[in-house]
Amino acid sequence: MKNIFIIGSKGIPAKYGGFETFVEQLTARKQSENIRYHVSCLANNNNEFEYNGARCFNVKTKKIGGATAVLYDILSLRRCIKYLKTNQLKDCAVYILACRIGPFFYAYKRQLEKMGVTVYVNPDGHEWKRSKWNAAIKKYWKISEGMMVKHADLLVCDSKGIESYIQSEYKTYNPATTFIAYGADVTESNLTDESEVLQTWMEQHRIRVNEYYLIVGRFVPENNYELMIREFMKSNSNKDLVIITNVEQNQFFQGLSERTQFNKDQRIKFVGTVYDQQLLKKIRELAYGYLHGHEVGGTNPSLLEALASTKLNLLLDVNFNKEVALDGAVYFNKQEGSFAALVNQVDQYSSPMIDGLSKKAKQRINEEYSWLKIVNEYERLFLTN
The full set of domains in the chain, from first to last, is: 2-183+370-384 (3.40.50.2000), 196-368 (3.40.50.2000)
pLDDT-wise least confident of 87-91, 209-213, 357-361: 87-91
Q: Cβ distance 37 to 22 under 8 Å? A: no
pLDDT tens-digit map of 16-73:
788 999 999 999 999 999 999 999 999 999 999 999 999 999 999 999 987 899 999 9
Average pLDDT over residues 340-362: 97
pLDDT tens-digit map of 197-217:
999 999 999 999 999 999 998
Helix, strand and coil content of the chain, in percent to the nearest 5, comes to: 50, 20, 35
Average pLDDT over residues 271-288: 94
Residue-level pLDDT at 129: 67
Where residue 255 falls among pLDDT bands split at 50, 70, 90? confident
Residues near 358 by beta carbon (within 8 Å), at least 6 away in sequence: 310, 311, 312, 328
Amino acid sitting at position 165: Y
Parallel, antiparallel, or unpaired for β 54-60 and 35-43? parallel
Q: Which residues make beta-bridge pairs with 49? A: 56
More confident residue, 248 or 353: 353
Average pLDDT over residues 157-185: 94
